[in-house]
Structure 1
Amino acid sequence: MSHTNSDRNKFKKTDEERVIKNVKEDYLICSICIDQFVDPRVLPCGHSFCLSCLTEYIDKSANEDEFACPIDRQSMLKPFGVKNSKRWAQFYPPATFLRTLVKAVEIHEGTVPTCRRHHGRPREFYCATDDVLVCSECAVNEHRSENCDCSTLNDIYNRRKDDIQILHRALSGQESCVHQLITDQYRLRELFMESKSNVKCELDMVRDRLSVFYESTSRALDELSEEIDQSEFTRYNLEAQLDSFFKEISEMKDELKDLKPSFDFLDILQRIESKVDYYGSELDDISSFLKECEESKSVRIEFVPNTSFLDLLDEYSVGSIVNHSDK
């Protein structure tokens, strides 16, 4: 029996609805609120949650420096320099792929903003006075008073072009700043590694001065040497955060480049403006922090000898290893 076009269209629509339903249930449900993602953020372990859900969860469960992922219980360190746990969640990167899926589902289901009062007319006007998107009929009938600043999204987009360019330049500058900070971070690491080598040379010089060396003293020197090998450059390990900043800044540049006068472009613009201010402050803080560390020479490992031992070569402690970057 052959199917009519109407039957085939019906089957096709049913298949599409089933796929959309499966996508929503399998990929777009937040494990905390058990509802569709809203502004999803992704943790380093790969699990994603609504921004508001993650904020509330962290605030209730975090200790001073970390919290556990709600799904796999892996330990998540707090963002660098952010003390208030209520702000931690917003510094984890957006789950861009999930956001795209959510938007695709909304478009398929017809949930792109339209006016319910005027038969689904698109809300393509923005009233700055009331801070609301409205359809053309609402704009004409309800937002034409002297107190209302109502314009099309295209007009507002054109008005904000200079702001967009300023944001783009700011993001480019911050991107360059991240590059420079990464370079500075690597340079500090090289200084640290050089200091490790110098300290090992100092230990070798101590060995050369000894003509008779007790077994216990030799063992102590070997232990110190092993401690040096195991020393880690931990205090200033900012690569992960700087890489995250660079990734988010690049994503915002791309997002800004592709920005169109859509219904949500003002929200996107406000979010990017806020992020630019935040990254500017954070990058300045990190830059100052790294310069201070370099000037204070606190990134080097140091051998602190026991002078009495060096003079008497007797039953005194050889010395100790001080890793300033581990404090």
Structure 2
Amino acid sequence: MAQRVVDNLQNDYLICSICLGRYTDPRLLPCGHTFCRQCLSDHIQQTVLSANANQFKCPNDRGDVRKPGPNTPVREWANAFPVDTFISSLLQAVQSHEHGGNAPQEPEPASSSVGTSARRGQTLTRPRPLRPQRQSRRQQQSTGPPPPPPQHESNELTCLEHLRRPLEYFCLGCNILICSHCAVQNHRSPRCECVANEEALGRLSSKIDRLKTRFENQMMYIQDLNRNGMPFDNELENSKSQAFSYLSEVENNVSEFTQQCLQEVENLKRTVRETGQDIPRENQNMSSLLGRLQDSRQGYETIFNAPSGPSFLTNLSRYEKQADEYESEIERAVSGNAIPKIEFITNTGFQNFLRNPPPVACMEVKESSSRARRAPVQIRREGTFNVRNNRGGRTTR
């Protein structure tokens, strides 16, 4: 079975579509296709005819591929593309099996016959991998073997999607065990980086230790809370006291404002009542005019009541002239004394305030961002991996 797996890997994923041989120093293009470094270099130098060219055609899909650097010469373009780490891992595993479990010192050379007319139909396409993560100091210093992979009842992890192929790889981007087919078909996004299970355990050992420490810190924190109680009641009472203090201040201000408004209304009423009281009710000229008018009226009645004679006709025009003079004096006296009138002007802003008073305040009940937590151990959140099983390989027993 192991030999069949090796043959499938080599026939499906380890053959360069240019030389039709096993990959040698595989290089990954941005379009996701992989080629031998020397095959890719020969192709670039044969198709790029200008030293000022900025791109070349991919041998598989004929798409434009930009040169890897602005100042990189054409002969160095192939060397500048990244090594396909996934294909390199497959090559190392196959070579280790061919040499009886011991990896050879140097990779097996592949034939470089560029002039071959036949080309294999199925090619491996994978996106540019993420940069390999820098090993921690603990990993660099560790000399012991990595922890063993998880074991199931069947003593083997297999894939349900691809005819029970072994799940011998782990995607660091998706955090899931996968087989070789899943790595090529389902894990092609830029976030994916597929490595062997042993390498994944070594690279994640520091995160495993930090996750264990995180759980321990959380347990200590909860135990401290159970012993000492929640330290949030005092903060709630303080916030209530501040709210009541503010509301009491608003209540006093509203009371003072009401008293001021009522006092001003009373002052305006008093002004209305007192308006016109200082105007003199009698006028000296009018009194003199009234005396003369009474004398003229009495003389006129004496002549009118006397026996009729020519003397009445003689005095009639004189009394008529006096009446005209009295009317003129009355008009002058009345027009000379101004009569006051009250014109009340309302305050539009104050009227609008009374009709639509603004809210006194707004209250919002929310959690405080500065709770005084009493924790003897500082809780730290470390970046850990979240194991998901949303796509790719699935395990079975």
More strand by share: 1
Larger relative contact order (Cα-Cα within 8 Å, sequence gap ≥ 6) = 2
Structure showing greater Rg: 2
Q: What TM-score comes out, normalization by structure 1 length?
A: 0.32
Could you tell me the TM-score, scaled by structure 2's length?
0.26
